[in-house]
Amino acid sequence: MPAHKRILLKLSGEALMGDDAYGINRATIVRMVREILEVTQLGVEVAVVIGGGNIFRGVAGGSVGMDRATADYMGMLATVMNSLALADTMRQEGMTARVMSAISIEQVVEPYVRPKALQYLEEGKVVIFAAGTGNPFFTTDTAAALRGAEIGAEIVLKATKVDGVYTADPKKDPNATRYTRISFDEAITKNLQVLDATAFALCRDQKLPIKVFSIFKPGALKRVVMGEDEGTLVHV
């Protein structure tokens, strides 16, 4: 039996790049979608928020010197592109996905309407929330916390490059160990970066647990959903 009935999965845009330096790597997105397919087959309702860092970020790279709000809107559009790619790959894998955007681009994707999102989830469709929160100066981590709370997800699953939260940076410190679980308060005291500060505060206020895990580890998403020891659980 899965440990969760409804999950909010946050994928970073960079996760789609694979070994490429930019954009969407075909083999990587297919592999990721198959991991998601496996958990939908367990009967788990899945909502996804995807970032845009593989294409454009409001605060780095091509945006340097730009007006911040304009650059952030470009970043949000990048997440729409990733969402479309993800939904299309899901279609190819036999899944039904719906993209809902926080900014209106109705010829391309339907707008985010909460009751409709809930309906899709109940119907077993994967819902992909595009364009972050729809507001500049925020991140897709915050969108994940926000949408997760709105749809009553039991947990936010944050897929990262590392397989959890460590006592120190495992790339720099060979003695770093992974936390199996840690409370919100302990994570703050120890100054551990789990999500960005706004997203973290929202999850904490809403008592929405977060699981940090690696999407690159085959089967990890399924193990997380089954409640097995994988990644790090941030709990109330």
Binding site for ligand UDP (CB under 6 A): 12-14, 51-53, 57-59, 71-72, 75-76, 78-79, 132-133, 135-136, 138-140, 142-143
Q: Give 20 or 229: the residue with its C-beta nearer to ligand UDP.
A: 20
Residue nearest to ligand UDP (CB): 51
Instruction: Tell me the closest approach of the beta carbon of residue 133 to ligand UDP, in angstroms.
Output: 3
Residue 138 in marked binding region: yes
Q: Which is nearer to ligand UDP, 42 or 59 (CB)?
A: 59
User: How many Cβ atoms are within 10 Å of 56's Cβ, its own excluded?
Assistant: 22
Q: CB of 94: closest distance to ligand UDP in angstroms? A: 27
Of residues 181 and 216, the one with the C-beta less far from ligand UDP: 216
The answer to whether 198 is annotated as binding is no
184 labeled part of a ligand binding site = no
Q: Is 140 annotated as a binding residue?
A: yes
- Residue 12 among known ligand-binding residues: yes
- The reply to whether 139 sits in an annotated binding site is yes
Nearer CB in complex with ligand UDP: 75/148: 75
Nearer Cβ to ligand UDP (197/236): 197
DSSP string across the chain: --S-SEEEEEE-GGGGTTTSSSS--HHHHHHHHHHHHHHHTTT-EEEEEE--TTT--TTSGGGTTS-HHHHHHHHHHHHHHHHHHHHHHHHHTT--EEEEESS--TTTSEEP-HHHHHHHHHTT-EEEEESTTSSTT--HHHHHHHHHHHTT-SEEEEEESSSS-BSS-TTT-TT--B-SEEEHHHHHHTT--SS-HHHHHHHHHTT--EEEEETTSTTHHHHHHTT-S-SEEEE-
Which residues participate in the annotated binding site for UMP? 52, 72, 133-140
Which residues participate in the annotated binding site? 10-13, 52-53, 57, 72, 133-140, 160, 166, 169
